Structure 1
């Protein structure tokens, strides 16, 4: 799978969790779609919890990276001036002093302290999802899976074609 397809996937699945907004999509011209989710969304909170509980699977794959893995990403929870936004971090470069180092892969909507392309540190407690791609198959990506389930059939088909990955 090409990295361009992964970028498309992450841009398609930017997610903001905002306490004041209902479940809805925000389309931005030439930018990623943002899915607003209430902070008390039970299913989303379960997906985030599952990601936290299974982070060891990401760590194992990352530390044992071979050519079969084509992408590693982490979603980090950012908080600023009462705003909360969960942003995908790609190009995971390593782990230093217990923190992952990676690059902002989504254009933030509400958070102004980081921008697309910034290198950031991610503490384990800040992670709200993780993913890697192995032989075109998504591993992790629990929030992605949930949002995909919530799509219409047409949206799911479009997503599957654009992402080029298999979700089982």
Structure 2
């Protein structure tokens, strides 16, 4: 099975972390969806570097849940693996609400291979489907474990812009 990971500057500029809204602003104005030239990067299910990033993101999920609980309404999102006909598409989801093991949200990107779904579509998923998390603080994006791997495989100019948005470390030094 293959997994698709998508990265785009508009998606990262808080589209992947936008506050509660039907069409995430993606960092470009008041509730406007902005098209991005997203690059799709395929990773095999056995890709060690990507699997390590997913494991690290899952291990630090309590940091995300704490941020969501203590700073409601602030930009945050989860990357979720949704089943496709040939594997999974990992896509950012915002407007997160969790009740037990069931989590709901809205797609923060236009999917590549999820027929019937688009930016803003509601989705339901479980904790087991989470592959990454993100939130913004002081102009920097925290989490984004998988993004830190994906950018090694995209256009160098776009990768440099993405790196500039990311925090030095995925987890804040004072995160609990």
The verdict on a shared fold, with TM-score over 0.5 as the criterion, is: yes
Seen in structure 2, the aligned counterparts of structure 1 residues 96 and 159 have a Cα distance that, compared at 3 Å, is: same
In structure 1, the partner of 2:134 is 131
Offset at residue 54 of structure 1 (A): 1.1
Offset at residue 4 of structure 1 (A): 9.0
Offset at residue 57 of structure 1 (A): 0.8
* Cα distance in 2 between the residues matched to 1:53 and 1:30: 30
In structure 2, the partner of 1:107 is 110
Q: Is 1:79 matched up with 2:83?
A: yes
Matches within 5 A, 1:53-92: 53-65=59-71, 70-92=74-96
Seen in structure 2, the aligned counterparts of structure 1 residues 139 and 4 have a Cα distance that, compared at 3 Å, is: closer
* Cα distance in 2 between the residues matched to 1:142 and 1:153: 18
Unmatched 5+ stretches in structure 2:
1-10, 19-34, 169-176
In structure 2, the partner of 1:119 is 122
Length, aligned pairs only:
142
Offset at residue 62 of structure 1 (A): 0.5
* Cα distance in 1 between the residues matched to 2:52 and 2:91: 18
> What SS class does the counterpart of residue 61 from structure 1 fall into?
helix
In structure 2, the partner of 1:5 is 13
> What SS class does the counterpart of residue 40 from structure 1 fall into?
coil
In structure 2, the partner of 1:49 is 55
In structure 1, the partner of 2:23 is none
Offset at residue 5 of structure 1 (A): 3.0
TM-score (norm 2): 0.68
